[in-house]
Every structure is written in structure tokens, then in C-alpha cells.
Amino acid sequence: MPPSFRTVNYSLRPAKQIERRMLAEALLRLTEFGSLTSYRYVGLGGIHFKDFVVFHRLLGISNMVSIEKEALARSRFEFNQPFACVKIEFESTSKVLPKLAWDIRTILWLDFDERLTASALSDISVFCARASSGSVLIVSVQAQDEHDNVDPLAALIESIGPERVPNGTKRSDFTAWGTATLFRRIVINEIASRLHARNAGRAAGTRFVFRQIFNFQYRDGARMLTVGGILHDEGQAPNVAKCGFESLDFVRTSDEPYRIEVPVLTPRELRDLDRLLPGITPGQIQEHPVPNGDIEKYASIYRFFPTFAEVEP
């Protein structure tokens, strides 16, 4: 199978773009832990490096590391490197992450395009064991149903090991968005397990805590899950409160997801709806030719909605 960057144009996925902008808006609130320019961003840029562009321009982060396992395409990645401050590491995440210095507050986005694997969970463990207080972990994985002839439970057990599959998991748990719900639970369990080990012997007030901020579900084709949050020591709980993440509509601190649903609208419809937002009234919705459901979806995400345009050569 060819690498995903050869088959998917990641710059044209509207739900992904909306998610990326929502993440940036939330991350802007990390200033309670220090200047964003003091943070490091570690991600999986691909040949488009879209998250690196957004986080450099909006957050001002200049210490950036992109991990690319497709070393055979090295020249193409280097050609598309968006800024000089992006350092590209041509190895797997499992090899790069343990080698990084973790005394720097870090935003790590493990933006995988495959299903949850043991390797991904090991990467999560590295972050939880070593990241400094005020760091952020974001994990994205595919949560699409398995093929009809594959037992999803058996496939998951083979992929991550039986000890990581929650007790009582059934085959019926994998239907529709159930796979995303299950994968989130496994990620949160892994974080809790690794922090329990890290906190052994630490005094009260110095133990590390992970507070979930993100629980996105969306699809630009395949179903996707993104779960993430902030790692901090107990003594910095007031800093987290001052960040005010909960005031953002898309923030989710529990198993309830924020589902990004992108309506299909024409450019003229987008312009007309923008003219009515924010605060569109029920009367305006009833009189508009766009279906009510699509208007409501757009109203909830319009500030983050990407704009695509065809440019003549």
C-alpha cells in the first residue's frame, strides 16, 4: 500500500481543516503556562505541513519537529518544508520521541492516518513518562469499521494486545462511531496507566495529571477520532483553570464527543449565511433555501470553515 500522502490531499479535507483551527484556538490559551514562543511543536507534517503552517503563524512557535517515516521520499519532504524552523526527522515516532529532550513544554500531535496500534500507545507512554508540566498531547487515529470479513475484536486484540482491550468489549461495540468511542477509552486508559507509574513515590501536589480537552469525531471519508489534553502537575491546576478551555464550545472533557459535521454549501450560500451570522434567528432559518440542519451545522463551525478557491494558471 502506498503512503497516505501519495493518495490523500490533506490540504483539501474540510473537517480536518476545521479541527486544526479549533485546536489552534484552544492552544492560544496556554499562555498561563508561559509564552507560546517557548513551546516546541512535534508533529507528523506530511508533504503539506498544514499544521506546522497554522501553528507557526497563529501560535508563533518556531521550535518545530516533523517526524516522517517515509525516508525514501526525503527530497520531496525537504522541498515542501514550509519554514526554516521546521526540523525534519526521517525515522519512526518510536525512534524519534525517546531521543527528544523533554524539559521543553511540548505540543505533540500524533496525527496518525491508521487505526490504533501498539506502537501508537507506546508513543503515548513516552510522552506521559517524560513530558514537562504544561505540555499537550493530541492523538488522531482512524476509527473506520473493519472490512466485513474481519472480526474487529480479534483484529484489535492482535494490534494492541489483549491486556489493553477493556474488559467486556464486544463485537457490537465497533459499529458506527462505537470504534471511535472505544479507541478514546483505550487512549485514556493508557495515559492513566503511565501516569500512575510516573507518580509512584511523588509527593501530593507534585503528581502529574492529564486533563482532557479534545474529543473530536469527524469524517472526510473515513471516520476519525482525535483525543487530547494537557499534562500538568497538581500544583498547576490553577493555571489550567485560568486557561478557560471549557468556555470554548468545542472543548470536551468527557466521553461525549464534539462531532464536526461539514455541510455541503455553495459559495453563494456561504456568503449569504455569513451575512446573517452570528446570532441567526429561527425566522431567518425558516426563510432560507438551505436546509435547516445544514444551517445549524454551519453556524456552529463558520469561524473555522476553510475557504477553497480554484486559481487559473
The rounded distance, in Å, linking the Cα atoms of 89 and 239 is 33
In the chain, which residue ranges form alpha helices assigned H by DSSP?
14-27, 50-59, 74-79, 93-96, 118-130, 152-160, 178-199, 237-243, 267-276, 282-287, 292-301
Which residues, in sequence order, are bridge partners of residue 87?
A: 65
Main-chain dihedrals φ then ψ at residue 161, nearest 5 degrees: 95, 145
Cβ–Cβ under 8 Å, residues 239 and 161: no
Ranges of beta strands (E only) in 38-151 are 40-43, 63-67, 86-89, 106-111, 135-142
Q: What is the pLDDT of residues 128-170, one digit of tens each?
A: 999 999 999 999 999 988 777 889 999 999 999 999 999 999 9
What's the whole-number average pLDDT of the chain? 92
Main-chain dihedrals φ then ψ at residue 184, nearest 5 degrees: -60, -45
Q: How far is CA 279 from the centre of its chain?
A: 29
Q: DSSP of 119-138, one letter per residue?
A: HHHHHHHHHHHHPPTTEEEE
Q: What is the pLDDT of residues 261-284, one digit of tens each?
A: 999 999 999 999 999 999 888 777
User: Which amino acid type is present at position 135?
Assistant: S
Take residue 156 and report the three cell numbers written for it.
484489535
Confidence of residue 3 (pLDDT cuts 50, 70, 90): low
Name the nearest CA neighbour of 81 among 58, 106, 113, 56.
Answer: 56
Secondary structure tally for the chain: helices H, strands E: 11, 8
Domain boundaries, the chain: 4-260, 267-304
Instruction: Tell me the fold of 4-260.
Output: Rossmann fold (3.40.50)
Q: What is the pLDDT of residues 241-261, one digit of tens each?
A: 999 999 999 999 999 999 999
